[in-house]
Amino acid sequence: MKKIIVFIIIILMGLNAQPLSAAAKCSTTSKQKVCITTKAKTITTETWDYRNEGRKNLVKRVRLTKSRANGKLVSQRIREYHPNGKLKYNRVQEVGVSDIRTTYFDNGKRKKLQTIKYSATTKSTDIINSNKEGKFTGGTYQEVKRSDGSLVKEETHTAFPNGKVKEIVENRFDGKKKVYNRVRRNNENGQAYYDVIKKYGDVNSVETKTFENGKAIKSEIVEKKNNVVVKETLILFHKPGGYKKSAEVRELSNGNLAKHYIDTFSDESNAYRNSQMVYVYSGSQVVARNYEYFNRNQTRVGVRNIVIENGVYTSDVRKNFVSGSQSKVATKITTTYHPKNITKEILTENFNADGTLSSKNVESFNESKKRTQNMNFFYNSKQQLRLQKGYTYTDTRYSYIHNEYKNGVIVMEDKTVFKADTITKVLYERAFFRNGNLVFRNTYNFDGGNITTIDSNTGVAIASTTTKLASMFPITYGTITSPAWFYPQSFGGNWHPAIDVAPFSLKDVGFAQNLKWTFANNGVVLSRHNGCSTTNSYGCGPGSFGNHVLIAVEHEGDFYTVLFGHMSKLKTTGTSSDANAPHKIFERIKPGVTIKQNDIIGIVGSSGNSSGYHTHIQIQQHTYASSLEDIKARFKEENSNILFNVAYSDLSNYKDILTVNPDVIFNLRYAQTWSKK
């Protein structure tokens, strides 16, 4: 710019114009002077056109051209002057930048700046107008396609006398169709007070902004399809900084609200989204509420999903993610509900960095909001266990705590501890409470399959057995999930007069788990039930035991009946020749048949009153019997109601039949024999 000003001053002073380089080669005529400067890579040509022949001090036009040695144009500048010597316009073109900038002057003052730009597909023309004082008076912008000259975008700017922008009108086009219109208006101080954006297409929208002291405080967007509102958006801005405070989006379907989004933002200058909440509607009812939470890096740190039916919560799932991850779960909390939004169960799961389960807690509540049970599971490193038929199961549990409550007050506590990285039990405790106070506690210490029972009052071992658990265990790859227990008569008299045995996990039932007759002596089948579905058959079968087999056996001089309950429903037909195929078991195990040790008598299931795959083994001693025939005869006389098919309240009529803790028979641990009165 300094060179141009100096050059003009030299001309006006009437001095002979000199080339810009001393090494330039010049040629002069009465109308023109041309100077060429050659460098290693560029050639510069300066041309002076004179207004009147012989009057070299009155320059009409000056052209400055730079080109490569190969003749390729680099840049070009043209300055044209009025007869009085004052600059008329200055045009600059940079090759490669594809810009042509032309500045027009009036009496030496800039009047208009025109910039023409080319892209691969479009040509744009930008014009800025000024008055004699150099203040902005308005301008236009136009962008067209180079292929057909059709309009792409246009803008019109108007101004106040003080040069402040008054109004900007912007239109955009797709072919001959207008797709966008925006009108922005300011006051004389340059503060915005009006901004409306209209978009046209399959969905038409209108955005209206509200201002305060020139800052946007609210933006409202209404979208319509076929002249029906389909979305409404409301954005609020912080007054001091003008950055987002919150955003709400309401999606409508046939005029009814379908989804409602609410985003909140931090109150910092670099506002970032804190959370997003989404309400999902069906008709006028909210059927789901979903949340997402974010940190300042806009990384998702947690989610929450609530399912609602008829205005009542049915489930609520919360997930917190591992730091730096947007999907790897660190904690998951699942809540289910009774009617009237009363919490039914809270399941809390904690995960390790590799995604494996670290711990789990289950809390249950009744409809009076009283806690009924609390269970804790703790896990450590993975343990691979090879099961039958090539199945592999991973169990990481190393301890388990289960509490039960009545009216919110603890009544029972279970605790099981496993040997690290195995499913071998090392400790089992069961305690009973009254009014929150301990009544008694049974403790069983396991030592490689041996079990010692601890007296709850003295803490001294009162019995021990060296019999291995597996010696008479009915499931090859199983464990005791619930031992025999009972409340004392003074404590309500409830009981579980059996043991429950199951595969290593009640959830892992992808393999058929056969049940073996493990008694050394032969047994005689008294009855069998096979009419219940393997799962979801609550209340099915005599005594709600589902599918079961009842077997009479003599053991160490005494006579017993043994019930295997909740078994799978066996197929009655099949083509397999395998002796232990379900239909073969069905054909073989029937009333009157004698079974021998290690015979397969059924398959683990979850029929009847069962919440998971296991087998309920219940034993009763027939003190009146001197042979198995006595039991068979009595069983026939009682019309199959002896023992297991009668209500517990009627057991007083069978004082010669004792309910026996299965631990006595299996020699699993110190056991008691009792009869419920």
Percent of the chain at pLDDT above 70?
Answer: 74
Q: Are 651 and 658 in contact (CB under 8 A)?
A: no
Kindly report the backbone phi and psi dihedral angles of residue 522, in degrees, each rounded to the nearest multiple of 5, phi listed first.
Answer: -70, 150
Between 240 and 656, whose confidence is greater? Answer: 656
CA distance 104 to 576: 100
At 272 the pLDDT is 79
Residue 673 has pLDDT above 50, yes or no: no
pLDDT for residue 477: 59
Q: In this structure, are residues 388 and 476 in contact, taking their beta carbons and an 8 Å threshold?
A: yes
pLDDT category of residue 432 using cuts at 50, 70 and 90: low
Quick check: 142 pLDDT over 90? yes
- Residue 595, pLDDT score: 92
Q: What digits encode the pLDDT tens for the residues 601-620? A: 999 988 988 877 888 888 88
Smallest Cα–Cα separation from 559: which of 521, 608, 597? Answer: 521
Which range is least confidently modeled, 104-113, 406-415, 519-528, 564-573? 406-415
**Segment 59-77 mean pLDDT:** 82
pLDDT at site 363: 86
Give mean pLDDT, residues 366-376: 81
Q: Of 205, 250, 254, 208, which is closest to residue 228 (Cα–Cα)?
A: 254
Torsion of CA 460, 463, 468, 473, to 10 degrees: -110
- The average pLDDT across 479-496 equals 55
Q: Which of 101-105, 243-247, 334-338, 362-366 ranks highest by mean pLDDT?
A: 334-338
pLDDT of residue 251: 94
Q: Which of 394-408, 443-457, 634-648 has the lowest average pLDDT? A: 443-457
- Does the structure show a pLDDT above 90 at 496? no
Q: Is the pLDDT score of 167 beyond 70?
A: yes
- Position 478 scores a pLDDT of 62
Q: Are 347 and 330 in contact (CB under 8 A)?
A: no
Calpha distance 620→244 (Å, rounded): 74
What does the pLDDT average to over 78-101? 80
Q: Detail the DSSP E strand segments found in 494-630.
A: 495-496, 498-503, 514-516, 523-529, 547-555, 558-567, 594-595, 600-603, 615-622
Q: Is 335 a residue whose pLDDT tops 60?
A: yes
Please give the pLDDT value at position 298. Answer: 83
Q: What is the mean pLDDT of residues 54-80?
A: 79
Instruction: Note whether 606 and 569 are within 8 A (CB).
Output: no
Residue 454, pLDDT > 60, answer no
Q: Which tens digits make up the pLDDT trace of 203-229? A: 999 999 999 988 899 999 999 999 999
* pLDDT over 80 (residue 557): yes
pLDDT band at 156 (very low <50, low <70, confident <90, very high): very high
User: CA 409, CA 74: separation in Å to the nearest integer?
Assistant: 90
Q: What is the pLDDT of residue 414?
A: 72
Number of Cβ within 10 Å of residue 424's Cβ equals: 14
Confidence tier at 143 by pLDDT (50, 70, 90):
very high
Rank 149-153, 243-247, 491-495 by mean pLDDT and report only the highest: 149-153
Range from 481-485, 486-490, 547-551, 584-588 carrying the lowest mean pLDDT: 486-490
Give 587 or 441, the one with higher predicted confidence: 587
Instruction: Give the pLDDT mean for 549-561.
Output: 87
* Of the listed ranges 32-41, 143-152, 205-214, 381-390, the one predicted with least confidence: 381-390
Q: Which of 160-169, 262-271, 589-598 has the lowest mean pLDDT?
A: 262-271
Of 9-13, 104-108, 146-150, 168-172, give the lowest mean pLDDT range.
Answer: 9-13
Tens-place pLDDT, residues 305-320? 999 988 888 899 999 9
Greatest mean pLDDT among 194-203, 435-444, 597-606: 194-203
DSSP per position, 207-241? EEEEEETTEEEEEEEEEEETTEEEEEEEEEE-TTT
pLDDT tier for residue 521 given thresholds of 50, 70 and 90: confident
pLDDT value at residue 152: 95
How confident is the model over 6-28, as a mean pLDDT?
49
Average pLDDT over residues 17-32: 67
Q: Supply the pLDDT for residue 380.
A: 63
Residue 609, classed as helix, strand or coil, is coil
Is pLDDT of 549 > 50? yes
Cα 479 versus chain centre, distance? 35
Task: Provide the H-helix boundaries in 160-311.
Answer: none
Q: How confident is the model at residue 47 (pLDDT cuts 50, 70, 90)?
A: confident
Residue that wins the pLDDT comparison between 629 and 480: 629
Determine which of 52-56, 63-67, 316-320, 423-427 has the lowest per-residue pLDDT on average. Answer: 52-56
Q: Each residue of 464-478: pLDDT tens digit?
A: 433 333 345 677 656
In this predicted structure, which of 42-46, 274-278, 344-348, 371-375 has the lowest mean pLDDT? Answer: 371-375
300 vs 324, higher pLDDT: 300
3-state SS track over 393-421: EECCEEEEEEEEEECCEEEEEEEEEECCC
- Looking at 17-31, 442-456, 563-577, which range is the least confident one? 442-456
636 band by pLDDT with thresholds 50, 70 and 90: confident
